[in-house]
């Protein structure tokens, strides 16, 4: 599973950044415009709200799980979500969790 999680983290970084790079190439690094476009329509706002709720739930769960399973580097999920998204943060955390489990065996 560790290899699958690592591959998912890489894929989960590349795919969103293909879209982010296009936005940055066209508009530069404009956080206000980025946020405005993310929330431009009601369906987009629904997707964004869903993702933000999932990120919050993931952080709460992974923080607790990291304490219970002695997963070092849990905090890396915070910038992973903000710089890429849950598509990186979740598989990254699961990869770190598998590594921690292996080291405790």
Each domain of the chain, given as residue ranges in start order, spans 2-104
Structure confidence by residue, pLDDT tens digits, 9-46: 999 999 999 999 999 999 999 999 999 999 999 999 99
Q: pLDDT value at position 57?
A: 97
* Confidence (pTM): 0.88
**For all residues of the chain together, what is the average pLDDT?**
95
Residue 22 CA to its chain's centroid (Å): 19
Q: Please say whether the beta carbons of 95 and 9 come within 8 A.
A: yes
């Amino acid at each position: 599973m560790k290899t699958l999680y690592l591959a998912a983290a890489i894929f989960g970084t590349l795919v969103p950044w293909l879209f982010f790079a296009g936005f940055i190439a066209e508009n530069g690094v404009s956080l206000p415009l980025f946020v405005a476009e993310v929330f431009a329509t009601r369906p987009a706002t629904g997707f964004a709200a869903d993702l933000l709720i999932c990120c919050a739930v993931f952080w709460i769960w992974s923080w607790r799980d990291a304490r219970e399973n002695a997963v070092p580097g849990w905090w890396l999920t915070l910038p992973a979500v903000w710089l890429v998204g849950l598509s990186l943060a979740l598989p990254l955390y699961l990869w770190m969790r598998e590594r921690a489990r292996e080291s405790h065996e």
